[in-house]
Chains A and B, each alone.
Chain A
Amino acid sequence: MSIEIRMNEENLLAKISGELDHHTAAAMRTELDEKINGLNPHKLLLDFSDVSFMDSSGIGFIMGRYKLMKENGGVVEVVNTPRNINKVLKISGLDKIITIGRCKNEDN
């Protein structure tokens, strides 16, 4: 599990790689929140293209960043979600409050 964070104009881009569960979310949360609070981006883009596994801990992780960004007056967008995690995202209803973009080459 790793997270690559970079600032692109007013947006913070966080590319997550590997398996996102309760164990891995804890460390990523600390690292990402530090950057959010330090750089105060307008938008946080969570790139999930390299996430190979995610359970509902990932939902908690996205919700937590959504709350933090909202407090700071910003927004969150989740991009490139692979097929295998769309099912978990669907159950959560997160797509009602956050823009979620699926991988371009996936049809479901």
Chain B
Amino acid sequence: MKIINEMKISFPSRSVNESFSRSAVASFAILLDPRMDELSDIRTAVSEAVTNCIVHAYGDSVGTIEITARILEGNIFYIRIKDKGCGIPDIEKALEPMFTTAPEEERAGLGFAVMESFMDKLTVKSKVGVGTTVTMQKKISRR
């Protein structure tokens, strides 16, 4: 699909950057003139993916999180969130709602479920010891 516009950001996996990253992606998405609820969905999905990188991929260490956002032909918003953290051994299990490896940190295990339901398309690629890449797409309604 033809890329109409693109932006990239990279930042350390510190929790203070959760709000920065979702706001940065939402600012870019505004170029598509989304409805408030569509923009809210994007912010929430980004927040979930970035929080996963911080809590699970890097855990006690700090690594780099890279986000690429694109506006694709057909009013489609594309987001890729990439880390070089520990990786997910069992993606199928990780995608199950309420499954979490960090219940003691009050993780609800709903991150991927939220991404899946707030966006149109979700892909998770991961390799243990190498990292995880989450890609999401959402069609923005034309007004």
Seen from chain A, the residues whose Cβ lies within 8 Å of a Cβ on chain B are: 19, 21-23, 25-26, 29, 53, 55-57, 59-61, 63-64, 83-84, 87-88, 91-92
Q: How far is the CB of B89 from chain A (nearest CB, A)?
A: 21
Given the interface contacts A56-B108, A59-B108, A84-B40, does A22 sit within 8 Å of B51 by beta carbon? yes
Q: How far is the CB of B134 from chain A (nearest CB, A)?
A: 14
Q: A87-B118, A91-B97 are in contact. List 4 more A-B contacts (CB 8 A).
A: A21-B19, A22-B54, A84-B40, A88-B114
Q: Specify which of B15, B18, B36, B106 is in contact with A60 (CB 8 Å cutoff).
A: B106
Size bracket of the B interface: 20 to 34
Q: CA A92 – CA B107 in complex, angstroms?
A: 12
Q: How far is the CB of B112 from chain A (nearest CB, A)?
A: 9
Q: Which residues of A sit under 8 angstroms from B106, Cβ to Cβ?
A: 25, 29, 57, 60-61, 63-64
Q: Binary interface profile of B, 53-68, with partner A (CB < 8 Å = 1, else 0)?
A: 0110000000000000
Closest 5 CB pairs of A and B: A23-B15, A60-B106, A56-B110, A59-B108, A55-B47
Q: Are A84 and B37 in contact (CB under 8 A)?
A: yes
Q: Which residue of A lies closest to B100 (CB)?
A: A60
Q: Specify which of B43, B107, B108 is in contact with A53 (CB 8 Å cutoff).
A: B43
Q: Binary interface profile of B, 117-129, with partner A (CB < 8 Å = 1, else 0)?
A: 1100000000000
Q: Specify which of B16, B44, B54, B105 is in contact with A55 (CB 8 Å cutoff).
A: B44
Q: How far is the CB of A19 from chain B (nearest CB, A)?
A: 6
**Central interface residue in A56, A59, A64, by most chain B CB within 10 Å:** A56
Q: How far is the CB of B5 from chain A (nearest CB, A)?
A: 25
Q: How far is the CB of A52 from chain B (nearest CB, A)?
A: 10
Q: Are B47 and A21 in contact (CB under 8 A)?
A: yes
Q: Which residues of A sit under 8 angstroms from B40, Cβ to Cβ?
A: 53, 84, 87
Q: Which residue of A lies closest to B105 (CB)?
A: A60
